[in-house]
Amino acid sequence: MRYKAVVKYVGANYYGWQKQLKETTVQGVIEHQLSRIFNQDIVIHGSGRTDRYVHAYGQVFHFDAPSFPLRKLRYSLNKMLPESIEILKLNKAADNFHARLDAKSKTYEYIIIEKAKDPFNAPYSLLYPFPLSLSKLIEAANYFIGKHNFQNFTNKEEDYQGFVREIQGFTVKRSGKRYTFIIQGNGFMRGQIRMMIGTILAYNENKLTLNEIKSALESTERNIISYKVKGHGLYLRKVEY
């Protein structure tokens, strides 16, 4: 039987989503508890990886396991998982459903607070001690909208899609000293969003020009951008199917 789940987690204490042998990851923790419940090895498949320290409101994963009452399974799993991970939804899925391959788009948020120090927000946002120009942030973000070759905005060594991804929407909102970047796309590669945000901030600080951003997107040669923000402020908001 195939199950589909939506999970919320705080990534601050995890070495990303993907299971690793020597590090604590979100996937590894969930698989361990599911395997205890079913008394057999359970492997889960996420809609995509999230980097170290990245959070999620709506990560999706699927897994195959024997039939089990859904309410009881969700309740038991949440009781066994740490407080930083919560299963929001758990349903039966079609046998051919795939959390990653069937995803049509993903929406991420990145949060920046225009402040040098804040103990309560530090694990959940980027604290930025320099003045931010909303108009400049929006101006730079618009350059990423559309279909581009993002080879210079990821650390991936190779990509079966040729590093081409489509950014369907990229907006920036301000509320006091809090800035929220909302990015929707058909898929994202390792470090891509953090490099895009880092590039936008470099433009805000006059370290880059708009022409240089455009050139990085249009270049046929690979020269990876050196600007990259931390994962603390990044959230996987939702996955559309």
Q: Give the span between the Cα atoms of 15 and 22, in whole angstroms.
A: 10
| Catalytic hit among 41, 51, 64, 159 | 51
Q: Please answer whether residues 185 and 105 qualify as being in contact, where contact means their C-beta atoms are separated by less than 8 angstroms.
A: yes
| 3-state SS track over 125-178 | CEECCCCCCHHHHHHHHHCCCEEEECHHHCCCCCCCCCCEEEEEEEEEEEECCE
The region that residue 203 occupies, defined by phi over 0 for left and psi between -120 and 50 for alpha, beta otherwise, is alpha
Q: Give the span between the Cα atoms of 217 and 228, in whole angstroms.
A: 16
- Concerning whether 51 is annotated as a catalytic residue, the answer is yes
Provide DSSP, 166-212: EEEEEEEEEETTEEEEEEEES---TTHHHHHHHHHHHHHTTSS-HHH
Which residues are the active-site residues? 51
